[in-house]
């Protein structure tokens, strides 16, 4: 089984914010694969399906971003999935809007959602896909930027990026992480 976790914040207030890029990609994958997302006892929305002959689990933790590790850890334990079979989707201010970066392991890179997951799992051996949301303009701080919504042209580019990220995940499931990195990084 491959578990794909899209990180974000629950609730209508955060629905289309930059910080919810992971949720947005999970929604696209669920629609594409015909997977119905349901609530669970793990404080997450979960959907199960088969893609390229492999069982997948799509997950949107409903804890807030900074405590995603609790939900991720509980789900991996319950389904007995090793971290190497997990993919985590997160927003990244250090990547320009439109870029994605796939890595098979590594640190948190300053991302609080990844820090939480690494802390709960005591392990960095999992694939992460960083979705570029760009840096804040002017003197706008990080928090207002990530909790802000995409505007105009930004929104169009963001939607294209989410679609590209969904294609990268489909490639990763079907052809492996190395092929997905080769085709989609940058």
Catalytically active residues, by annotation? 19
Q: Taking the CA of residue 176 as centre, how many other CA atoms within 13 Å lie in the half-sphere pointing to its CB?
A: 2
Angle at 47 (CA atoms; ends 182, 185), nearest 5 degrees: 15
For tokens 């609530």, what's the residue?
39
Contacts of 121 (CB under 8 A, 6+ apart): 69, 72, 73, 76, 83
Q: Dihedral of CA 61/54/81/180: which sign? A: negative
For residue 103, count other CB atoms closer than 10 A to its CB.
Answer: 15
């Amino acid at each position: 089984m491959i578990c794909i976790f899209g990180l974000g914040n629950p609730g209508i207030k955060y629905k289309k914010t930059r910080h919810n890029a992971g949720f947005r990609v999970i929604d696209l994958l669920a629609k594409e694969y015909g997977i119905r997302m349901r609530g669970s006892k793990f404080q997450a929305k979960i959907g199960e399906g088969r893609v390229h002959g492999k069982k997948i689990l799509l997950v949107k933790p409903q804890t807030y971003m900074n405590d995603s590790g609790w939900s991720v850890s509980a789900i991996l334990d319950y389904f007995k999935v090793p971290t190497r079979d997990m993919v985590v989707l997160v927003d990244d201010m250090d990547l320009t809007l439109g870029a994605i970066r796939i890595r098979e392991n590594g640190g948190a890179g300053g991302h609080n959602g990844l820090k939480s997951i690494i802390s709960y799992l005591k392990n960095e051996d999992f694939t992460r896909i960083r979705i570029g949301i760009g840096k804040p303009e002017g003197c706008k701080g990080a928090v207002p930027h990530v909790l802000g919504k995409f505007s105009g042209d930004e929104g169009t580019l963001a939607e294209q990026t989410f679609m590209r990220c969904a294609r990268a995940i489909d490639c990763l499931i079907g052809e492996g992480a190395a092929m997905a990195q080769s085709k989609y990084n940058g």
